Structure 1
Amino acid sequence: MTTSAVTHSAADGRPSLSVVIPMYQEIDNVEPMVARVRQGLAEYRGPWELICVDDGSRDGTGERLSEVAERTGPHLRVIRLRRNFGQTAAMQAGFDAARGELIATLDGDLQNDPADIPRMVDELLERDLDLLQGWRRRRQDDLVMRKIPSRIANKLIGKVTGVALHDYGCSLKVYRAEVIKEVTLLGEMHRFIPVWVAGVTAPQRIGETEVAHQARQFGVSKYGISRTFRVVLDLIAAFFFLRFGSRPGHFFGSIGILFGLLGGLMMTHLLVVKFVLGENIGDRPLLFVAILLLVTSVQFLTTGVLSELLTRTFYASGERTHHRIRWQSDPDAAGWSEGA
């Protein structure tokens, strides 16, 4: 059995579903989370599997997941990363292992309700979408530390990227596996998954729907106000890679040409002043500015050429994996829950 998407549907045509949950330092949430997922998908009329990814937890989350998996059955698959690689890498590990035609993701802190997943699957199919994003309209979080920064970030992301959604930060999403598997997640890109998906499918095939949200019961949040600043930096990176990811030479080259033109015009003016008007230009600040612009222009142009070479090398290598797995359930022994 491979980990590629498989067509395994019930009599009514419901597609196979993989539920991916990244978890870090969530030992108290393991058993209730698994129970909630099984309860929420009890009426799902199709085969499904649950993939829990332990992102290098040190509180015993990975061991607890393995214990629960032994009692639950082969449809619960556990992946344990060698160290804490971050939520983005944990999601990527889950996507790589997922075998379903659809993939759903949610956080492991019990704030998302797995019972929303079957409805979201139906809505994604009815609206013929490639990604359905959850919208925590009645969010049960701290106003100053979570809600206000999140609203600002959502508006900023939508303005810059053109993909306008109310709640980029909601981890409860449903994807078509064939689409999300075309996206390689790096760094902390999980915040911008709809933006990256828009790079491989039409933005019109990305939708959102209201979902339930509950206050955290166990453990502590892994996010704080500092996340706002990281979002701004990640947004700049997302904008660059979406617009110029496959042609970085155009980005650096455009700046280099602009600086070169400005420097060239200044030098032309100084040449006229020197040889036509006969004035001394050696002590003019404009001369040093022109020289600086021309040197900077050459640097940007050469950077553009080097970035083009690196981009072509990267795409030629086919490298996609940016995490290291310590242990995972045997894919050959993995099974499906046949649903209702």
Structure 2
Amino acid sequence: MDPVSDQSHSEIAPPKISIVVPVLDEVENLPLLHGEILTHVGAMGCSWEVIYVDDSSTDGSRQVLRQLHAADPEHVRLIFFRRNFGQTSAMAAGFDLSRGEIVVTLDADLQNDPADVPRLVNELEQGFDLVVGWRRDRQDGLMLRRAPSILANLLIRRVSGAGIHDTGCTLKAFRRTLVERMPIYAEQHRFLPALAMGSGARIGELVVNHRPRIHGTSKYGIGRAARVLSDLLSVQLVGSFVRSPLIYFALCSVPFVLATLMFVTMIAWSDERVSFSNQWGQAALLIMSLFVMTIVDFLLFGLLAELVVRASNVFGRGTLAPLVEEGTV
């Protein structure tokens, strides 16, 4: 990862708003996007910066980004990935480099409307920690984009409990206190509302404009469905068990405990006397030993996981670190 910035950024006061824009092969859209950001965010009357994170583009996007930085070094900051890492990694890198007290994420394909950024910020300042955009009138193809998105959002709402209509919308506004507690990985950018909810964040939703793609090609497809399901399972497991992994492993051992009790009961009520000198008795001893060893292994794994969680300080800066109300002593 190669960050490109200006020494003056470290010398001036942090801006109020940081806009993080993941970029992958959007050479035609970038000048138009930056022009709209200048128009709408620049009119807000507060300090701001935009961080473009290039995810190893091959169409000339990097050259355009360097030109934007040269023309507007006060506001433009750049990160270049040496290879493609994905949108989630791009967002995480932008979060790490951002300095604003409010962080806004935005797609580079011009389908998100920068005119909605002031509205998101105003909504966030009503007392929310995160405001999520809702593309209610989505301008995408039905079968390859909208239908999978509807199903994914229904599943995410049902499993995670986050009552958000459009978790996959990149257009979101975060308070910095939340961003600093939100390590993300894999393809989990679409689960940020669910991850934020685990920290007690106050989440709002705002209907935003969604525009049809004019230039370039979509990077999304139906092939992401399997990754959505696997990441949803990961988020659910982390959210449910990371605070007490011993309970998780203890639950995993329950079937073996029940099987052992059933086996012992069968032996105790058997009409035949069990002797460990014959094949039946030896088989019974072996099976019970395996069950008991499995139960002990699960409990030891749980204890080890407890030690790992505590030693890694996962709650020092993590998704599940609770947000504390201002003024709390």
Query: By the TM > 0.5 criterion, same fold?
Result: yes
Question: Post-superposition shift, 1:303?
Answer: 2.5
Contact 1:6–1:99 (CA<8 Å) still a contact in 2? Answer: no
Q: What letter matches 2:140 in structure 1?
A: D
Corresponding residue for 1:326?
none
Aligned residue pairs, count:
308
Answering whether residue 26 of structure 2 is matched by residue 30 of structure 1, we say: no
| Structure 1 residues 207 and 72, CA gap change in structure 2 (3 angstroms) | same
Corresponding residue for 2:309?
311
- Pairing partner for 1:239 from 236, 241, 244: 236
Q: In angstroms, what is the RMSD of aligned CA positions? A: 2.8
Question: Post-superposition shift, 1:246?
Answer: 3.0
Question: Post-superposition shift, 1:211?
Answer: 0.3
- Structure 2, unaligned runs of 5 or more: 1-7, 319-329
Answering whether residue 139 of structure 2 is matched by residue 152 of structure 1, we say: no
Corresponding residue for 1:218?
215
Q: What do the CA deviations read for 1:54-76 (whole angstroms, capped 9, x no partner)?
A: 11222232222012210123211
List aligned pairs for 1:75-154, cutoff 5 A. Answer: 75-126=75-126, 128-154=127-153
Q: Name the CA distance, whole Å, in 1 between partners of 2:63 and 2:200.
A: 38
Corresponding residue for 2:178?
179
Q: What do the CA deviations read for 1:1-25 (whole angstroms, capped 9, x no partner)?
A: 77799666xxxxxxx1111101112
Could you state the TM-score of these two structures normalised by the residue count of structure 2?
A: 0.85
Could you state the TM-score of these two structures normalised by the residue count of structure 1?
A: 0.82
Q: What letter matches 2:88 in structure 1?
A: T
Q: Name the CA distance, whole Å, in 1 between partners of 2:315 and 2:173.
A: 29
Question: Post-superposition shift, 1:45?
Answer: 2.2
- Structure 1, unaligned runs of 5 or more: 9-15, 321-340
Secondary structure, aligned partner of 1:51: strand
Q: Name the CA distance, whole Å, in 2 between partners of 1:4 and 1:278.
A: 85
Secondary structure, aligned partner of 2:43: coil
Contact 2:54–2:90 (CA<8 Å) still a contact in 1? Answer: yes
Corresponding residue for 1:259?
255
Secondary structure, aligned partner of 1:221: coil
Moved more, 70-79 or 114-123: 70-79
Contact 1:270–1:287 (CA<8 Å) still a contact in 2? Answer: no
Contact 1:134–1:173 (CA<8 Å) still a contact in 2? Answer: yes
Question: Post-superposition shift, 1:292?
Answer: 5.5
Q: What do the CA deviations read for 1:283-327 (whole angstroms, capped 9, x no partner)?
A: 99998876664443233223223322332333279799xxxxxxx
Q: Name the CA distance, whole Å, in 1 between partners of 2:182 and 2:315.
A: 16
Moved more, 131-140 or 179-188: 179-188
Q: What letter matches 1:300 in structure 2?
A: F
| Structure 1 residues 288 and 224, CA gap change in structure 2 (3 angstroms) | farther
| Structure 1 residues 285 and 171, CA gap change in structure 2 (3 angstroms) | farther
Q: What do the CA deviations read for 1:195-220 (whole angstroms, capped 9, x no partner)?
A: 11112234xx1011100001111111
**RCO higher in structure (CA 8 A, sep ≥6):** 1
Contact 1:101–1:177 (CA<8 Å) still a contact in 2? Answer: yes
Contact 2:182–2:317 (CA<8 Å) still a contact in 1? Answer: no
